Structure 1
Amino acid sequence: MKVPRPRYFTSNEVSSHNTASDIWVSFLGHVYDLSKLMEEHSGDVLLKPIIDVAGLDISHWFDPRTHDIRHYIDPVTHCLLPYTPHGRFIHVAPPFPSSDFANDFGIPWWKDPKYKIGVLSKKIRTIRILNVLTLQEHIIEVCSEENMHEILQRYLKYNRHASSYTWKYDGKVLDMDKTLEENGVRDDDTDFDRLKMRDDSYLQSIMLYYNDDLTEA
């Protein structure tokens, strides 16, 4: 059975979800939608440290080897305790036994797959898409890991008939199952850095040629 591809997100997409009712975070390379967690524990003071980092990457909260909360040895008690310098949060046990801590919640939210919605892109690319028929152009952010079909999905908000076009770069038809790099649309960022040029001074242009078909994606 074919394993479904994960959905990729840019850091800017994550950062746009930064309120208590619509909160995303990223850590250890994945993106989590914690809005439901906020709703389920509404009014709990232990939500505050999470709300304070809404839209941010919180990988420093976790041990990359165990994917669990970081721990430290308390210098006084010599006990192994969760390291939460911004304050204890939901599903983290108190440092000392407490009767008001319910430990029957099951899987802690940072290990619960129901909150994981995708993968954080390791490299964001900015491209220009030019509609040869209408001469309209749009500059969009995409994830370097995305294939052209997935980039097309991002572009649908600008043109719902995007599937009715042939996508080309440098005169060659793009393979929609491949990424930009695999299609020969190389990432020039390292060259711009070496030449001390702004990376938005030149953007690769994807050309859309109309197929005379009003198929909607």
Structure 2
Amino acid sequence: MDRPSYFTPAEVAAHNTAADLWVSFLGRVCDLTPLVEQHKGDDLLLPIMQCAGKDISSWFDPETKDVLRYVDPLTSCERYYTPRGRFVHVPPAGPRSDWATDIGPPWWRDGRYEVGLLSAKTRWIRVVNTLTSQEQKLQVCSEETLAEILQRYLRYNAHACSYTWKHGRATLDMSRTLSENNVLDEDHELQQLGLDPDLFSPAILLHFNDDLTEG
């Protein structure tokens, strides 16, 4: 079974227009562009539009995976908690003749909108091409394998598959993550020492396979 795609918060944030609208919540990343197109002109889109490209986990109960609820002190009835305003697929507080009840699963439960998962921890690495001495700094997801990180790097070097990836003297297993290859994430320790983790990004060395000077 194919692994899910992981995204950094910065990648989600890049999709922040009505024509290209992503959000993240409870670890999921969803492309709501089709929803926006379907409900174009509806005021119930406004809270979603205002949070385009952002994480909206605060809208949901992490246990039920549903929109947060509260008990209305005036009516003693349970209501959806939507401080930014009611949004698409959230029913009105009272009976309404213009509200369709057969909408199917609401968008936050509809897997068709999900494009991947939000990384629980991102990290920076330096990819150094030992053949050309070019260096590229990459923000990657800690859950990604080296093969998936290679796909991120292809935009900078289309021939990256022709290189052996190493950390120090150790050849990296491309089917494993950085941590599984003993490229440890030391951000927490560096912060405790008052050091900027960005200045101590681990270096991944690319050795060209056809370079006869390499053993």
TM-score tier by shorter-chain length is over 0.9
- Alignment equivalent of 1:68, drawn from 63, 66, 69: 66
- C-alpha separation between the residues in 2 aligned to 1:206 and 1:65? 39
- Alignment equivalent of 2:172, drawn from 163, 171, 174: 174
Partner AA of 1:204 in structure 2:
P
- C-alpha separation between the residues in 1 aligned to 2:200 and 2:2? 34
Residue matched to 2:25 = 27
- Alignment equivalent of 1:82, drawn from 80, 83, 87: 80
Matched residue of 1:68: which SS?
Answer: coil
Shift of 1:126: 0.2
Residue matched to 1:54 = 52
**Is 1:102 the equivalent of 2:100?**
yes
- C-alpha separation between the residues in 1 aligned to 2:20 and 2:79? 30
Residue matched to 1:13 = 11
Shift of 1:188: 1.1
- C-alpha separation between the residues in 1 aligned to 2:117 and 2:35? 19
Instruction: String of CA shifts for 1:39-65, please: whole Å, max 9, x gaps.
Output: 111111110000001111111111111
Partner AA of 1:92 in structure 2:
V
- C-alpha separation between the residues in 2 aligned to 1:99 and 1:71? 23
Give every structure 1 segment of 4 or more consecutive aligned residues whose post-TM-superposition deviation is greater than 2 Å. none
- C-alpha separation between the residues in 1 aligned to 2:156 and 2:186? 26
- Alignment equivalent of 1:138, drawn from 119, 127, 136: 136
Instruction: String of CA shifts for 1:67-91, please: whole Å, max 9, x gaps.
Output: 0111111111111111111100100
Normalising by structure 1, what TM-score?
0.95
Q: RMSD between aligned alpha carbons?
A: 1.1
Shift of 1:212: 3.0
- C-alpha separation between the residues in 1 aligned to 2:81 and 2:33? 24
Residue matched to 1:155 = 153
- C-alpha separation between the residues in 2 aligned to 1:212 and 1:88? 60
- C-alpha separation between the residues in 1 aligned to 2:78 and 2:169? 61
- C-alpha separation between the residues in 1 aligned to 2:189 and 2:197? 9
- C-alpha separation between the residues in 1 aligned to 2:58 and 2:18? 21
- C-alpha separation between the residues in 1 aligned to 2:19 and 2:29? 16
Matched residue of 1:206: which SS?
Answer: strand
Matched residue of 2:198: which SS?
Answer: coil
- C-alpha separation between the residues in 2 aligned to 1:189 and 1:125? 8
Matched residue of 1:201: which SS?
Answer: helix
Residue matched to 1:42 = 40
- C-alpha separation between the residues in 1 aligned to 2:99 and 2:178? 50
Normalising by structure 2, what TM-score?
0.96
